[in-house]
Amino acid sequence: MTPSPLNAQDVEQAAAALLSYATTVAHGLAELAVRNERYDELAALAAAAHADQASCHLPLPEGPPTDADRGIDHHELIRRMEAAADALDELGRCSADPREVRDRHTAAFHARAAVVALRNALPVEEGAVG
């Protein structure tokens, strides 16, 4: 199955916008962790690094994060990032160009790492729920 180019672009664009937002959220969590010990500063920093690294393998987001993305809570963000990682992996499996295969799978890999780190950055009881 070959994904339609339009669809592929949509998936990448959505993931890029989401990851860009995730980096901001992760930095916010790291800042929060300085004052509130229930959050984990190091895991938040790792989440930001991985989200940034994932977005390095995706095109630049054409539009700003949509209103639907902004203001979502951490669990929703984590859920959407997991979905985006799955979609990127699926896209990677269907791609013909080896460079695209590599970029999409690497982006998915780092997005998943960011998800794990983000979960660890949240307070124990909150992280477990996600």
Partner 1 sequence: MRRDVTWGDFTAMAALRLEVALAAVTDAEGRSTPGRHASRSGALAGTCRLLHQYAGRFGPLAHDPLGIDEDDVARLRGNLDALGRALRDEAAYASPERDPVSRHIADATRFLAFGSDLLASHHGPAGQPRSPYAAYLNSPTVARHVIAETAELASTAGRLAARLGQSSPPSRDASDSRFAARRLAGPAVLIEQAAIGIHRGLNAPRPANPAPGLTHLPVAVTAPPPPVRPGEPRHEALLAVATGADWLAAHTARKTAERPSTIGELPVIADHTAAAHLLSARLLEHTSSLLVPDPGTCDALTSAAHTLRAAAQAWRRAADSWKQAALRSAPQISDPHFVREAEFAGVRLGRTLFSDGWTHRDGTRRTPRAPQDIVATRTDSAALLAAVHAVPAAGQVLAEHTPWIAAAAVEHGVLLSSDLAHNPRGGTPADQFQDRWTRWYPALPQQVVPVTAAYNAARQASGAAQSAVARAAEAAGHPIGRAVLDADRRRTLGFTGDPAHDARRVNAAAARTRSGTARGPWESVRPPGRRAAELAREVGALHPHRGRGR
For 36, list phi and psi in degrees, rounded to 5.
Answer: -115, 115
Site membership for partner 1, residue 34 (CB under 8 A): yes
Site membership for partner 1, residue 95 (CB under 8 A): no
Site membership for partner 1, residue 82 (CB under 8 A): no
Chain position carrying tokens 């985006």: 84
Q: Least separation, in Å, of the C-beta of 41 and partner 1?
A: 6
Long-range contacts of 103-106 (CB under 8 A, 24+ apart): 103/57, 103/58, 104/12, 104/57, 106/54, 106/57
Site membership for partner 1, residue 129 (CB under 8 A): no
Site membership for partner 1, residue 91 (CB under 8 A): no
Instruction: Determine contact, residues 51/30, Cβ cutoff 8 Å.
Output: no
- Answer for which of 60, 68, 96, 128 binds partner 1 (CB under 8 A) is 60
Q: Least separation, in Å, of the C-beta of 75 and partner 1?
A: 17
Cβ neighbours of 37 (radius 10 Å) = 9
Contacts with partner 1 by CB under 8 A lie at 16, 20, 23-24, 27, 30-31, 34, 40-43, 45-50, 52-53, 55-64, 113, 116-117, 120-121, 124
